[in-house]
Structure formats: C-alpha cells, structure tokens
Amino acid sequence: MTSTISMGQYLFKRVAELGIEHVFGVPGDFNLTLLDQLFKVQELKWLGVCNELNGAYAADGYARIKGVPGVLVTTYAVGELSAMNGVAGAYAEHAGMIHVVGMPGRAVQEARLMLHHTMEPGMDQTIYAGMAEPIRKTHTILTDENTMAQEIDRVIEAGVKSKLPVYIYVPMDVVGIPLDASRLEKPLNTKVANSNSQMEDEVVKSTLELIENSSKPSILADVLTIRHGGRELARRLASVTQFPTYSTPLSKGIFDETDSKYNGVYNGEGKVNPPIGLIILKASYLVSFPGCADSLESSDLVLNIGFLLSDSNTGGFTRKIPDGNLVLLGHDYCQIHDKKFDGIHFLPVLKRIVEEIEKDPKQFSIPKPDTRAKVETPLLSTSTSGPITQSYIWQRIGRFLRPNDIILSESGTAQFGLTDATFAADMQLITQTFWSSIGYTVGACLGALAAAKEQQQQEEKQLTSNQNPPASSNRVILIVGDGSLQMTVQEIGSYIRFGFTPVIFVVSNDGYAIERAIHGERMGYNDISMLWDHQAMLGFLGARQETGIKGRSFACKTVEELEGVLTEEEFQGARCIQVCEIFMDKLDYPWRLSSQIAVARKKMAQAMALQG
C-alpha cells in the first residue's frame, strides 16, 4: 500500500529539503491548521514575528545569508496584504521568498460568503492573489488534490531558480489531504540551466576570446552575482585571472577588500566638488572615490557580472563604460558588446568560463601585464576627539568589523556612508539600496540572525566530526537611523525573545536625514518624535534583570566616548544584545549622498531645459 503524507507536511518537507531550518510568520485563523502541520516537521522551527511586514523583511534577510528562499506564512487578506511591501522588495532585489498564505476553504470560496477579511458581499476571495501578481515569479492555489504535490514542487523549483518570490495559497480544507509520500524520494530540480545550449556556447566562447585578446581587463561584480549563487565563482575568476576587481554599492563585500587587486566601489561619476572631511576631491568622479572610476573605465574589457543598473547602484546612471569594452552577464540575458543573448543565465556561463581558465591560464594569456596601480581608499577623517561626524563614523565602524561579520546597513545615511569603509574578508552586507524601504533592516536582521545561528550550528557539527575547524562565528551588526527604527522597532523584541545577540548601532540625528538632504532640510515633515529613550529600549522589549536576559546600552556624543565603546572587549564579543547610540548633527550627510543628489538635480535640470 502506498504511504501517504498530509498536504501540509508535504509542503513543509519540501521546504526543509532546501536546507531551510526557520520559518517566519504570524498566526491567523485561516492558517492555524496549516501551522499545526509545520510543527510536525522536526527539521523546521517556527519564528513568530510581530507583524507580517517584518516577517517578509525577515524572510528576505534570511534568504540573503542562507542562499535559499526565506519562508513566510501569513493569513488570508490582512496578513498577506500587510506583507506585500516586504515581498516587493525581495522581488526587486532578487531575495528569494516562499510566501505561504492560508485561505478560506474551497466551498466557502465558491459560495462567496461575506467572511471577515473580505471587502464586500459576493466578493471573489481570490482577489488578493491577483494583487500579488506583479511581485512574484509564479503561484499556485491548491484546489485540485490530484495536482497539489506537483504544483508545490513546480512553484518551489521556480522560486529557487529565479531567486524571486513565489506564492502558495492553501485553502483551509486541503491541509490534511493525503498525498503520495513517495514523491519526496525524488529531489526537487533546483539547478539553473540554459535551454539554448548553442547560445550559451557562443557566449562562453566569445567571452573567453575577449579575455585572451584583452590587455587591460577588469571584473565588476554586481549584487545579482551574490543573489544568484555566483559569489564564489566570481572570486575564483578573480583569483585565477588576477584581474583588477570592483564592486558596486549593492555588492560591497563580494570580493576581499583587503586584496591587492581590489580597487573599490564603482558608482559612476558626478561633476561636483564638495569638501570631504580632511580632503578636497579634485577629481571629477565624486560618486566613486578618486581613481576608482578612472581605473575601471580605462579597461579594454569589463566583465560585468550579475548587474543591477538602478539609479542608486550606478551613481545616478553616470556609468561610463563603452559597450565596445563591455560584457554583461545577467540573470535573464547576456550581452557581448552590442549583441544580446536573451534568456541566457550567467551562472552556467560563468562556471564554464572559470573552469576553462583554471585548466590552463596561459592559453588565455594570463597573467596580463597590466600596469594599473591599486586604487587606495582615502582616509576621510583623523578625528580623535570632539563631535561625531559622518566623515568619521563610517570608516571607524569599518575598522570595528572583523572577518565573517554580517552587517545590515539601513536605507539612509548608513547606506551611503558605509560604502566608505574597507570591509574585512568574508563579510556579508545586507542593504536595500534599490528598493529602499526604510525600516527594512530591523526585520531583515531577524532573518540574518536565524541564518547565522544555523551556520554556527553547522560549524559546531564539523568540529564534533573531526573535520577542519570552521571560521569564527558570525557577529550580526545592525546599523539603523532613529527615523527608520521607529518604523519596525518592535522586532528587536523578537531578537531578545529568541536569544539572539546582535550589536545595534542607532544613528540619532533627529529624523529622516536622507529626506532632509533631498528636500525640505528644515521642514517639519522630516521630523520624528524625539521623546523616545533608546537607552531604555532593550529593557522595555525584554532584556532586563527580572527576565534573566542581559542587555547593554551606550550613548555616544563624542569621538572619545565612541572609541571607549568600540575598543571594549566585551562589546566586541557580542555575547549579549547591545545598543550603541551615536549622536550626530541632523544636517550632516555622507558625501556620496550629497554628490548623488547633486548629480540627480543636474540631470533633472537638463531634462526640464530640453522640455522647455
């Protein structure tokens, strides 16, 4: 007799097969029986969050560290709609997500009863599924028990391969339907492969020929390289070729930034000339550090891998790389000079290119006699006392970081400022430069903490099995502004509840600094409540003496006070949850932010002049 498994357990067994260990969400009456099935799958742990938006952020953050989709479970209508902003951000930035939604039963849907969470009599109860159509790769509504298992597999496979959100809608009455358990013996097909092998061959062959014939090649690896699982391949390519390497604001950390071939964050150019800390940048490239853009743009071949060409990731669309020197290797097309190859994914292409070069580098004239000097990162401030400034803080936090740290940098001044820091080896950065939903990192930090815990447990298992010692445990460091924090602060309570110990830097600069920089510098709409006491926050949210949970908080208004905290061994150890509040002037902005705004204003003025 064929063994069976409930539909709910089948779904979550498939989730666990991907290596996922934590599921995020909020209970609601339409998903409660589904959650019962989740709790029967021993490989998974439930992390209940404070609201669905934060849950989506957490699933996104988990996916970015884990490399597999985060899983979010919400209830019909109010839950799934609350999560949509977070799902849209995951779609924009290719952070995979499986959003499971508990729905009313099939008979109830057919009768179109006026249930709670519906909007009017006779409403089609699948209307909310339609609202999510633009922010997902695919979806399924599990109504046909004859195809449920196949549909679950199809949707999960599509989500893993595309790195885009997918939706699985589960009516209440199908949760316990028995499915054929033997299907679980066949693994999911999650390998990315190009269907047009002839076109893939042409991309590989042409790229290798260009590499062989180039004299000043470079590698520019962008964020979708990371999202689509190509980070290690990009590093192997850099290692075997010894080409100069560059990242973008969103891909910062993809290469070892202490390596002699790493030349910085390429973010286009800007023809403005503001003073920056102790130096005045005389070069014209002021959305990138001096020399970075010159160095990259002088290349006769740029291998641009996993590109995401948004405004904030290209210095306001100021890249100057001629098409005749450019090879674009993307997730949905590749392009060599002016020839485009639609539907070709870079991952199999990059794998073949790396393997061919590793076989015999000399065949491709490697190493190259490239005489370009390494681009050095300028020191923006040598302050040892006095007020904390934007020019000082970001490179100082960079020196606080250490290998294997996971850092979350909130949209706003932190996002632009942290680009100035030199990262230690094997760091992972989570930021949301493209979608830029403020408050994102507080929720995403929960997901990163869960993923980091899984990594640490895996490392501990390696030790007990007498394998090579693992790397040091990951610290998780959150940098968030006081305005962004007020959006999603309650999720810090979840860190405490689940025993996580991040280091939290709160930038207190009296409101929405990035908005002030853009417009309305002294307008009240950029103000926030300044009545919050960040020093009391951890205690209110659960880290206090009577709970037995330790938390530490510091307030720093001067360089001397901050140095005292950053150099303290206990603070560096991150063995309990800690907050370091950093006070800065509300009209002090990172230079990259000011420069990019100036570039944007100039482009806008030019466009308006043409229209006039």
CATH number of the domain within which 33 lies: 3.40.50.970
Length of the chain: 612
CA distance 407 to 478: 6
What value, to the nearest 5°, has the Cα angle with vertex 52 and ends 49 and 55? 55
Same domain, 239 and 171: no
Task: Mark whether 337 and 431 lie in a shared domain.
Answer: no
Tell me how far apart the alpha carbons of residues 334 and 328 are, in angstroms, rounded to a whole number: 5
What is the model's pLDDT at position 208? 98
479 within a domain of the structure (yes/no): yes
Within-domain flag for 223: yes
Written as six digits, the tokens of 117 are 């969470």
Classify 365 in phi/psi space as left (phi over 0), alpha (psi -120 to 50) or beta: left
The CATH number of the domain holding residue 229 is 3.40.50.1220
What is the domain extent for residue 217? Answer: 197-364
The per-residue pLDDT for 103 is 97
Which of 162, 185, 208 marks a domain boundary? 185
Is the previous residue joined to 274 through a cis bond, with omega within 30 degrees of 0?
no
Please, what sign has the CA dihedral across residues 106, 111, 116, 121? positive
Asked if the structure places residue 608 within a domain, the reply is no
Angle at 271 between CA 269 and CA 276, to 5 degrees: 85
Give the model's pLDDT for residue 467: 59
Query: Count of alpha carbons within 13 Å of 98, Cβ hemisphere only?
Result: 27
Query: Is 412 exposed, middle or buried (CB count within 10 Å of its CB: 0-12, 13-18, 19+)?
Result: buried
> Do 131 and 224 fall within a single domain?
no
- Residues 175, 213, single domain; the answer is no
31 found inside a domain: yes
Q: Give the torsion through C-alpha atoms of 241, 246, 250, 251, to 10 deg.
A: 20
User: What total number of domains does the chain contain?
Assistant: 3
Which of 17, 89, 67, 30 minimizes the C-alpha distance to 443?
A: 89
Query: Is there a single domain that holds both residue 11 and residue 117?
Result: yes
Residue 609 has what pLDDT? 80
Which residues lie closer than 8 Å to 231 by C-beta, 6 or more apart?
225, 254
Q: Is 509 annotated as a binding residue?
A: yes
Whether residue 208 sits in one domain with residue 157: no
DSSP 211-224: HHH-SSEEEEE-HH
User: What's the rounded Cα separation, in Å, for the pair 65 and 426?
Assistant: 12
Q: Is 511 annotated as a binding residue?
A: yes
**Are 176 and 201 part of one and the same domain?**
no
Q: Tell which of 185, 211, 241 closes a domain.
A: 185
Is 581 a member of any domain?
Answer: yes
SS3 34: helix
Ordered mean pLDDT values, 10 residues apiece, the chain (612 residues): 90 98 97 98 98 98 97 97 98 97 95 90 94 98 97 98 98 97 97 97 98 97 97 97 96 94 86 40 57 93 96 88 96 96 98 98 93 88 94 96 96 91 93 94 98 90 64 83 96 98 97 91 93 97 97 98 97 97 94 84 78 72
Q: Pinpoint the alpha helices (H) of 465-568.
A: 482-488, 492-497, 513-518, 537-541, 559-566
Residue 376 lies in a domain: no
Question: Do 588 and 478 have their domain in common?
Answer: yes
- Chain center to CA of 445: 10
pLDDT given at position 324: 95
Q: Residue 504's pLDDT is what?
A: 98
User: Are 318 and 340 within one domain?
Assistant: yes
Number of neighbouring beta carbons within 10 Å of residue 606: 10
Last residue of a domain, one of 185, 214, 245: 185
Whether residues 28 and 137 share a domain: the answer is: yes
If asked whether residues 204 and 347 sit together in one domain, one would say yes
The phi, psi pair for 244, rounded to 5°, reads -60, 140
Residue 304 annotated as binding site: no
Structure tokens at 159: 């989500």
67 in helix, strand or coil? Answer: coil
**Is 539 a member of any domain?**
yes
Pairing mode of beta strands 178-180, 4-6: antiparallel
Please name which of 406, 440, 446 lies closest in space to residue 423, comparing C-alpha atoms. 406
Long-range contacts (CB closer than 8 Å, 24 or more residues apart) made by 514-517: 514/411, 514/412, 514/413, 514/415, 514/416, 514/589, 514/593, 516/586, 516/587, 516/589, 517/589, 517/593, 517/594, 517/597
At residue 612, the pLDDT reads: 67
Nearest partner of 170 among 76, 97, 103, 79, judged by Cα: 103
Query: Are 477 and 567 found together in one domain?
Result: yes
153 within some domain: yes
